[in-house]
Amino acid sequence: MGEVIVITSGKGGVGKTTTTANLGTGLALQGKKTVLIDTDIGLRNLDVVMGLENRIVYDLVDVVEGTCRVKQALIKDKRFDGLYLLPAAQTRDKNAVSPAQMEKLCAELKEEFDFVLIDCPAGIEQGFKNAIAGADKAYVVTTPEVSAVRDADRIIGLLEANDIRNPKLIVNRLRPDMVRRGDMMTIDDILDILAIDLLGVIPDDENIIISTNRGEPAVADSKSQAGLAYRNITRRILGEEIPFIDLAARHSLFTRMKKLFGFKPA
Amino acid sequence: MMDLLKLLMRKKENSKDIAKERLKLVLIHDRSTFSPQFLEMVKGEIIKVIQKYMEVDEELLDIQLTKTTSDDGERVIPALVANIPIRSMKQGIR
CATH code of residue A51: 3.40.50.300
pLDDT band for B10, please (50, 70, 90 cuts): low
Lowest-confidence pick of A168-172, B8-12, B31-35: B8-12
Residue A106 lies in a domain: yes
Instruction: Identify the domain containing residue A79 by its residue range.
Output: 3-260
Residue A266 lies in a domain: no
Among B8, B14, B27, beta carbon nearest to A193: B27
Positive/negative CA dihedral, A50, A56, A58, A59: positive
Among A153, A157, A185, beta carbon nearest to B16: A185
Higher-confidence residue of B60 and A15: namely A15
Coil, helix or strand at residue B65? strand
- Tell me what pLDDT residue A50 has: 98
- Tell me what pLDDT residue A247 has: 78
- Tell me what pLDDT residue A266 has: 41
Closest CA to A116 of A35, A40, A7, A8: A35
B15 in contact with chain A, both atoms CB, cutoff 8 A: yes
Higher-confidence residue of B81 and A150: namely A150
Higher-confidence residue of B85 and A175: namely A175
User: Which residue in chain B has the smallest CA separation from A186?
Assistant: B16
**How many structural domains compose chain A?**
1
Task: Report chain B residues whose CB lies below 8 A from the CB of A186.
Answer: 16
**Interface contact B26-A157, CB threshold 8 A:** no
Q: Extract the runs of DSSP E, i.e. beta strands, from chain B.
A: 54-56, 62-69, 76-83, 86-89
- Tell me what pLDDT residue A248 has: 74
**Interface contact A146-B19, CB threshold 8 A:** yes
The residues of chain A scoring below 50 in pLDDT are 264-266
Q: What is the pLDDT of residues A190-220, one digit of tens each?
A: 999 999 999 999 999 999 999 999 999 999 9
Coil, helix or strand at residue A221? coil
B30 in contact with chain A, both atoms CB, cutoff 8 A: yes
Lowest-confidence pick of A219-228, B28-37, B54-63: B28-37
- Tell me what pLDDT residue B20 has: 95
User: Which residue in chain A has the smallest CA separation from B7?
Assistant: A262
B8 in contact with chain A, both atoms CB, cutoff 8 A: yes
